[in-house]
Amino acid sequence: MRTLINLMLLAVLVMAATCYESHESMESHEYLYPFINRRRANDFIQADRRVEAVSQERIRERNKAPQERQREICEDYYPCELYAFRHGYAAAYRHYFGRRRTK
């Protein structure tokens, strides 16, 4: 009987130690209101900057440096890409596309 009481007391103590909710978890506002409305969720993003960033990216895509255009051309042609791995993209572009053959 005595061991049963000791085991019950031990079980209660273990349960109290593991199931105790500290004050720190109660301090957060997320505990009471886990969801925020859509307007507050999107407050930190300003539409003007987002649109401006997209337009700047589109401008950068249109105005590429000549080396970047040459590299993309070389990447699309597999033998040129293999040559570029060994000798570099500038040399590969010159090797495959540098001299234009005209009839």
DSSP letter for each residue of 83-98 = HHHHH-HHHHHIIIII
The count of domains in the chain is 1
Quote the domain boundaries for residue 87: 66-102
In a domain, 51, yes or no: no
In a domain, 77, yes or no: yes
Tokens representing 72?
């993309």
In a domain, 23, yes or no: no
pTM of the shown model? 0.40
Tokens representing 44?
């930190």
CB of 71 within 8 A of CB of 93?
yes
In a domain, 81, yes or no: yes
Arithmetic mean of pLDDT, 34-60: 68
For 31-38, the CB contacts below 8 A with 24+ separation are none
Q: How confident is the model at residue 65 (pLDDT cuts 50, 70, 90)?
A: confident
In a domain, 90, yes or no: yes
